[in-house]
Structure 1
Amino acid sequence: MGKLNDLAGLGQAVWLDFVDRKFLEAGGLKALVEEDGVTGVTSNPTIFQKAMGEGTAYDGTLAAFDKENPGAATMDRYEHLAIQDIKAAAETLAPVYERLDGKDGYVSLEVSPYLANDTDATIAEAQKLWAAVDRSNLMIKIPGTPAGAPAISATIAAGINVNVTLLFSQASYETVALAYVAGLEQRVARGEPIDRIASVASFFISRIDAKIDEKIDAGVGGDEAKALKGKVAIANAKLAYAWYQDFIASDRWQALAAKGAQPQRLLWASTGTKNPDFPDTLYVDTLIGADTVNTMPPKTLDAFRERGTAAVTLDKEVDAARQVLADVERLGLDLGEVTDTLVEEGVASFSKSFDELLASIAVKHPAEA
């Protein structure tokens, strides 16, 4: 039992922020599940672009699909490849899902980033992907944009697990947390069960510090602001978690919990440090707490295994976190503007990766293996 396994005892799940055909076929995910206690997997267009757009690992599958479906659209070809990977990951995680009675063991698949601002199309895409994968331990990733919030409620109400992605601000997080609750309440009103529905709220970390620290390096806030470098994203996450703790104690949530509802766990995303001056386990060590998930890219997972510190930290120094955010505003660093920008950039970045992914698949016409 190593440090990654220790996190489970502290109430935090470890998910892998990576999926790749060769990795799955070689038993890489199975080993992480068995040896390190990994209980979930996340994917996104950037991850799939790197996996599918490079090399030949998917050529045999693509050739077979093309033979059966001549002239298939590029999007259909992509979905066929992605769904196979997601199914394979879901099957590897199925024993975890069963052992934990549906509390964990999930793999996430994202709706098209092109739909980030279209509620109805997002709902339809979520239902299509859910049916295509047909695994109870699937989560459909929906962005936490203004258009995403009602899509989250509708998707949860339909009995589909949801991973809300691209959350940067506390306000956006609170909106999607309430959207999750609204979806559960719709099911209760119809007399439908809610005990096997799960959701996570993916709150992004490192990108916030990258933006804020860039402002500080440019002179915003003067010398006083330099003391805030590397602290803002952690403070932002701690206050989101403080809100979560207050909310699950509320009468509204407790009424759902009495019917078996699972809390929507906060998931820390983008936890690899981007500044080489920071410890590579910074965004794991400082964000450990109950009812949370940390989804780590492979390098961060390896780093924590080797030199991380497994101790509850998320609910510590919360007043200091409030002071950090107060100083951010006082010094003109404008966290609200930063988080708004990051949502836009996140959607644009995933759309760009999706463009590149589809383009690479479009030109692939491998001979049948």
Structure 2
Amino acid sequence: MSRLDDVFPHGQSLWFDFIRRDLLDQGGLARLIDESAIRGLTSNPAIFKQAIAGTALYDDALQAQIDAGERDPEALYEALAIADIQQAADAFAPLYAQSEGLDGWVSLEVSPTLAHDVEGSVAAAKRLSAAVNRPNLMIKVPGTRAGVKILPQLLAAGISVNVTLLFGRAAYRAIADAWVDGMTQWVKSGGDPKGVESVASFFVSRIDAAADPKLPKALQGTTAIANARAAYADFLALLDTPAAKALLEQGVRPQRMLWASTGTKNPDYSPTMYLDALIGPHTVNTVPPATLDAFRDSGTVTRSLDVDLPAAEQQLAKIAEAGIKLDDITDQLCIDGIAQFETAYADLLAAVADKRDRMLAA
């Protein structure tokens, strides 16, 4: 427990990358908040697919909706997810208040079918935000080209945003610039500088999984961390721009970098490598359950992220010399990530429809 508590003094918050109704109903989330230094929670379509389609935990609530006349699978799913998110947000409400809005956030993703639809995503985000009706809700949108246009519109409307599926530095920088634009609009319109928050979810382990097979042994397992540290250098450079400085001087907090996909894919790697190496100021690490357990048992807590940022560029240069075109990899990973969430979402809706039909037949 003390190891987890020691992360926050280095400027990093640990968020839990998991949600399920028994975690909420049986006090598991409350214990994670009270005893494990968890300061937020994230969800995605794949997590909800496993929770709703893979268990019977939601069947009674689903039956109640069907009895009330609802038939649309997406509406049925959203009602279940919204109830979970509301309950999680309420559990984090004291931390949200105590931290003055720094932490205590719970994330809900718009439909992945809207990944390239600006108007549809903005409308869906506003609808979900109103439906959840909690101040510590973050709406998740992917960091696509459409996301660059979606983000400032939502921030300017007072909606906090978790930008997900960021893999490459260029994509991150575009989102960071969009954050400056949106927050400038928000503050200019009279919005509370601390009333809207955002994180940029930068994915880690999937990059090594894609790059390692093309690299010599000595360079394997180094691409993702070097890429993340280089992106963090981009984050620091952004904070030094006049536009960002103007926001910070008005009380706006930075758009923190959130390290996502931090569970290792390669069993030969330490299960905590993507936590150990990326601890530093103005960051979040969203941790799946198994990785949290591993870090609690054997993680290394030290300010590791920004010890030698120029070394990250040098490492990326070595990786490029070995023939890796990192931009091509990160672009493809974003495409693949959206496709995976679309598949999970379609499977989820199909499972809900199947349960609906069986309940109606019964």
1:194 Cα shift?
2.6
Q: Is residue 2:47 matched to residue 1:50?
A: no
Residue of structure 1 equivalent to 2:159: 160
Residue of structure 1 equivalent to 2:116: 117
Q: Is the 8 A contact 2:62 2:76 kept in 1?
A: yes
For 1:222-252, what per-residue CA distance to the aligned partner results, in whole angstroms no more than 9, with x for missing partners? Answer: xxx3211000100000011111112213221
Task: Give structure 1 regions of 4+ aligned residues with deviation exceeding 6 angstroms.
Answer: none
For 1:336-367, what per-residue CA distance to the aligned partner results, in whole angstroms no more than 9, with x for missing partners? Answer: 11001100000000000001100000011365
Indicate which of 267, 279, 282 corresponds to 1:288: 279
1:148 Cα shift?
1.0
SS at match of 2:135: coil
1:156 Cα shift?
0.6
For 1:82-115, what per-residue CA distance to the aligned partner results, in whole angstroms no more than 9, with x for missing partners? Answer: 0001001000000110000111100000000000
Letter of the 1:19 counterpart:
I
1:300 Cα shift?
0.4
Report the identity percentage.
48
Residue of structure 1 equivalent to 2:219: 228
Q: Is the 8 A contact 1:195 1:259 kept in 2?
A: no
Residue of structure 2 equivalent to 1:60: 60
Q: Distance in 2 between matches of 1:112 and 1:281?
A: 31
Q: Is residue 2:344 matched to residue 1:353?
A: yes
Residue of structure 2 equivalent to 1:129: 128
Q: Is the 8 A contact 2:116 2:144 kept in 1?
A: yes
- TM-score of the superposition, structure 2-length normalised? 0.97
Q: Distance in 1 between matches of 2:287 and 2:88?
A: 16
Q: Is the 8 A contact 2:165 2:334 kept in 1?
A: yes
Residue of structure 2 equivalent to 1:9: 9
Q: Distance in 1 between matches of 2:232 and 2:151?
A: 20
Runs (5+) with no aligned partner, structure 2: none
Q: Distance in 2 between matches of 1:38 and 1:191?
A: 32
Q: Is the 8 A contact 1:241 1:266 kept in 2?
A: yes
For 1:189-236, what per-residue CA distance to the aligned partner results, in whole angstroms no more than 9, with x for missing partners? Answer: 3233332110000000000000000222xxxxxxxx321100010000
For 1:31-71, what per-residue CA distance to the aligned partner results, in whole angstroms no more than 9, with x for missing partners? Answer: 0100011010000010000000012100111111111134x
Letter of the 1:286 counterpart:
A
Q: Is the 8 A contact 2:176 2:238 kept in 1?
A: no
Q: Is residue 2:145 matched to residue 1:146?
A: yes
Number of residue-to-residue matches in the alignment: 360
SS at match of 1:147: helix
Q: Distance in 1 between matches of 2:193 and 2:161?
A: 13
SS at match of 1:109: strand
Q: Is the 8 A contact 1:130 1:160 kept in 2?
A: yes
Residue of structure 1 equivalent to 2:87: 88
For 1:300-326, what per-residue CA distance to the aligned partner results, in whole angstroms no more than 9, with x for missing partners? Answer: 000000000110000023222111111
Q: Distance in 1 between matches of 2:193 and 2:312?
A: 34
Q: Distance in 2 between matches of 1:308 and 1:5?
A: 12
Residue of structure 1 equivalent to 2:104: 105
Q: Is the 8 A contact 2:160 2:198 kept in 1?
A: yes
